[in-house]
Every structure is written in C-alpha cells, then in structure tokens.
Amino acid sequence: MVRIDAHSHIWTPDTIAYPLAAGWRKANMEPASFTAEELLQHMQQSKVDKTVLIQMSFYGYDNSYMLDTIRKYPGKFAGVAVIDQDMNRVDVEMRKQKGLGVTGFRIFPKNQMEESWLGSEVMHTMFDTAAAEKLNMCCLIDAAHLEALDRMCRNFPQTPVVIDHMARIGVDGTIRESEVQQLCSMARHPEVTVKVSAFYALGKKTMPYHDLAPMIQQLYKAFGPERLMWATDCPFQVGAPHTYAASLALIEQGLTFLSPSDREWLLGKTAERVFFATQKNGS
C-alpha cells in the first residue's frame, strides 16, 4: 500500500537562496527550519512514501523552494502553489505552474466576507481553468465559507475542489453538529474531496485524537473513503506534544469503522488520484 501525506509545508533557514516575502521575518519561522530533508526523515520513520507540499505563507507567491524540492526528488512530492488571486491573466500563471509540477492551488478568503468570497472575476477564471486543466482548488476555509464554496461548485461542477482540514471545524475546541452537517452536504458535488487532517488543531487538540472520530465517521458516510484523504499539516503536527506517528495512528488504529480497504483510500489512494495522477500523466 502506498502511503501519502496529503498536506505538509516546508521551509528553509537559507533566506538568501529563498528570500521571505514582504512582511515576514526569520523570527516568524517556527520552527526555524523544516526542510524537505527534515520532512523526509519523518516520512521514512512512518513508512510514508509521498507527500503533497503546500506553499508556505512565508514565501508569498514565490513557490521556488517547493518547486525546487519537487524537481530534486522526482515522484516523491506533488505541489499546491499560492498565486495572486487578483492578478491579470491568472489562467496563464496557473498553466505555467502546472508545467513546473503543480497540481493544485491554495485559495483562502483573506479579508473578504463570507458572502463575497469567490465572487470575483479572477476566482471564476481560476475555477474555470482548474476544470479544464484538472487542477485542484484547495480551500483553506472555515465552515462559514462553505455556502460560498457550494455556489461555486454548482457553477463549476467539473472543477476539482479539496477542502483542507475538515473546514477547520472544532478549531475553537467545539465541534458543532450544524457545521459538520454543512460540510457533509458538500458531498453532493462529485468533484469535492476532504482532507482529514490537522488533528493537533481541532477538538480537544490532544493525542490520540479519538474525540474527532465521530466527525470523521460522518464525513466517511457522506463522502465515502474514496473522497477522503489523510494528512498531517506538518511541521505543526510534529511539535511537542504532538507527533507524526499519532496522526497516522488515528487512521490506522483509532477509527474502528474503517475497513482495510477504506484505510488504503484514506492513507494513499485518494491522494494519489487527486494530486499525483495529473502529475504522472502530464495532462
């Protein structure tokens, strides 16, 4: 079975080769270093074969470190880039990034209100281009933004959409049933998948994270295992008192409703299909 971590960040203390974006300083980098090689050590220890890299905010729209890592370790990593959501000819930039190894783009509301998020012409262009190029629109959102995303999924039904970290339900310590149901309702859109991830930040925020099992089971019933994917959100999952192994253990041992086949989907097959198939096919 191929194991894939569907969400990790990397950065390097070498800010000469890879400068930080405006407004960021080395003091903001916590931990001070989480390089591709450091991530690979965690992967090897837990027998994880591949990882989807998510552009780190320290670098703004400069995806160089992530892209260089993808080239340095062929077949080991896929990339989710961040580009200017307000730029002209965003479609051209998306196709350029795809040619460099990117298979998705991270989008987030920034300072926009729930009702206006995704309403811009540029966002419509991004969703349209993503459908044509089979690129994933990876959404870092709270449950409050699901209504706007639902509208976009209805308008662009062919666009692959990935919801990060279970829409961060429970980030304030409370898992609200109404929000879980709202997220589950997104399963009516066949191209939507969900990352079962960032356990360190949700619910009780304590290992072994079994308090998250009821929410995950509801998502499992709504989406099926073929549309759910495990991820860590490293390096934040590996800072004490949390561990990489504990994140993996919740899927492997803590969710008793999963069959062996289900675990294969959550631990690798879904992420392989969503993030690596396009990279592999070059289409």
- Tokens 């450091």 belong to which residue? 38
Q: Indicate the residue type of 68.
A: D
The percent of residues above 70 in pLDDT, for the chain, comes to 98
Phi-psi category of 259—alpha, beta or left, where left has phi over 0 and alpha has psi -120 to 50? beta
Per-residue burial over 69-88, b if 16 or more Cβ lie within 10 Å, else e, is: bbeeeeebbbbbbbbebeee
**89-108, pLDDT tens digit by residue?**
999 999 999 999 999 999 99
pTM above 0.75, yes or no: yes
- At residue 282, the pLDDT reads 47
Residue 223 φ then ψ, to 5°:
-95, -25
Helix (H, G, I), strand (E, B) or coil at 67: helix
pLDDT tens-digit readout, 22-58: 999 999 999 999 999 999 999 999 999 999 999 999 9
Cα 144 to the center of its chain, rounded Å: 18
**pLDDT the model gives residue 280:** 55
Query: Rounded to whole angstroms, how far apart are CA atoms 104 and 97?
Result: 9
Rounded Cα–Cα distance for residues 194 and 197 (Å): 9
The predicted structure's pLDDT at residue 165: 98
Contact of 97 with 83, CB cutoff 8 Å: yes
Q: What is the dihedral of CA 204, 258, 153, 119, to 10 degrees?
A: 20
Nearest alpha-carbon partner for 165 in 139, 196, 144, 137? 196
Segment 144-162 mean pLDDT: 97
Alpha helices by DSSP H, the chain: 36-45, 64-72, 90-99, 121-133, 146-155, 177-185, 213-223, 244-249, 260-264, 270-271, 277-281
**Nearest to residue 5, comparing CAs of 63, 102, 80, 108?**
80
List the one residue out of 156, 248, 236 whose CA is nearest residue 196. Answer: 248
**7-23: average pLDDT:** 97
Task: Look up the domain containing 34 and give its range.
Answer: 4-281
Query: Token pair of 195, please?
Result: 């990352």
Q: What is the pLDDT of residues 223-270, one digit of tens each?
A: 999 999 999 999 999 988 999 999 999 999 999 999 999 999 999 999
Domain count within the chain:
1
Strand 192-196 and strand 136-139: pairing?
A: unpaired
Q: Phi-psi category of 99—alpha, beta or left, where left has phi over 0 and alpha has psi -120 to 50?
A: alpha
Q: Please give the span between the terminal C-alpha atoms of the chain, in angstroms, as a whole number.
A: 25
Span 166-177, average pLDDT: 98
CATH number of domain containing 269: 3.20.20.140
Q: Is 111 buried (19+), middle (13-18) or exposed (0-12) by CB count in 10 A? A: exposed
